[in-house]
Amino acid sequence: MSFGKNVIEHATDLLRVLPRLTIANIGPIAKTKKKKLSRRGDARGSTRGLGKKPRTAYFAVGSETKKMPFFIKFPKENYYKDYMFKREYPPVSLVMLQTLIDLDRVDISKPIDLAAICKTGLYSFEPSERHFGVNLTDEGADIFKAKINLEVQWASESAIAAIERNGGVITTAYYDVRSLHILRNPQKFFEKGESIPRRLNPPDDAVLFYTSANTRGYLADPEQISWERLVLAQKYGYKLPKLEDDPDYEMLMQRKDPRQIFYGLEPGWVVNLKDKIILKSIDPTVNEYFKS
């Protein structure tokens, strides 16, 4: 056996770098602790806090008389598997959206996104509790009459049809947790003086939803989306209004970049609310990081 260094040299080299001996590092020597013997009555009493009750008066849990118990019949129930890690989307119905428009809480002349809905103060969600934005539901699809450019995080098929019937446009977009915190209260973020971060890409299990034209995903091919708009119009039986002839064509065509959080503001910029100034970096390495 031949070492490059002596064993003692290795040990002294290590000792120089290792943390010093403190009370936190010291522990008891192995196999010196005695096992505590339990005396009579230490390991719970006879009734275990339940009182004097005749146990035989009740059936065992899960037993159905003269039947196969359900937990043997159906050995696995995976309905709620990983329920604590799944994404949630608190709903906004089309009736609620229509009342917001009727009461002038939301401006139709500009594109509506999550920040515009949160601005009203009538919708709240908690990103720390795995809430990932708006789920547009179809309640009140028949009464809905507004031409809007809407961006939500989840939408049902009939809700998409209700908006496109009135000449509007809808996209479903994903936001990561940090950008959701920013969208919920942009003023609080600007006051911090931080640069606007770039939006992250969707996780593996959400990629299919946000890239398919069926659900109007923001990463889908725009030519496929225009085809799917026609398909949905024939399925629900309404005449699809032409976007090209619309006077608000420019507003309806406004979309965010996949790396963008706000309309018109690019990632990497710093907004100064006090002096009404926007700071942009000229440094090529910084610009390449924020480039989409």
Partner 1 sequence: MLKILPSYLSILRSCRLITKPNNSVDIIKRYSSYLSSKPIPKDEDLPKYEVTNDPKEWEFVMRLLPDKKIPEVKEKKEYPSGWKPQKFNPNMPYAIQRTKNHMIPIYLCISHNNMRRITVIKKIHGDIWTLASDVRNYLEKLNKKKICVKIHEILGRIEVHGDHVSNLIVWAEKRNF
Interface residues with partner 1 (CB under 8 A) are 4, 10, 13-14, 17-19, 95, 98-99, 101-105, 110, 115-116, 119, 121-122, 140, 143-146, 186-187, 190, 262-265, 270-271, 273, 276-283, 285-286
Nearest residue to 69 via CA among 77, 78, 60 = 60
Q: 25 or 65: whose CB is closer to partner 1? A: 25
Q: Closest distance between partner 1 and the C-beta of residue 45, in Å?
A: 34
Q: Closest distance between partner 1 and the C-beta of residue 194, in Å?
A: 14
176 C-beta neighbours (distance < 10 Å), count: 17
Note whether 175 and 131 are within 8 A (CB): no
Q: Closest distance between partner 1 and the C-beta of residue 248, in Å?
A: 17
Q: Closest distance between partner 1 and the C-beta of residue 13, in Å?
A: 7
Q: 208 or 278: whose CB is closer to partner 1? A: 278
Q: Name residue 217's beta-bridge partners.
A: 172
Note whether 134 and 123 are within 8 A (CB): yes
Note whether 162 and 138 are within 8 A (CB): yes
Q: 210 or 262: whose CB is closer to partner 1? A: 262
How deeply is 222 buried, as exposed, middle or buried, from its count of CB atoms within 10 A (0-12, 13-18, 19+)? Answer: exposed
Q: Which two tokens stand for residue 286?
A: 């910084």
Q: 152 or 225: whose CB is closer to partner 1? A: 152
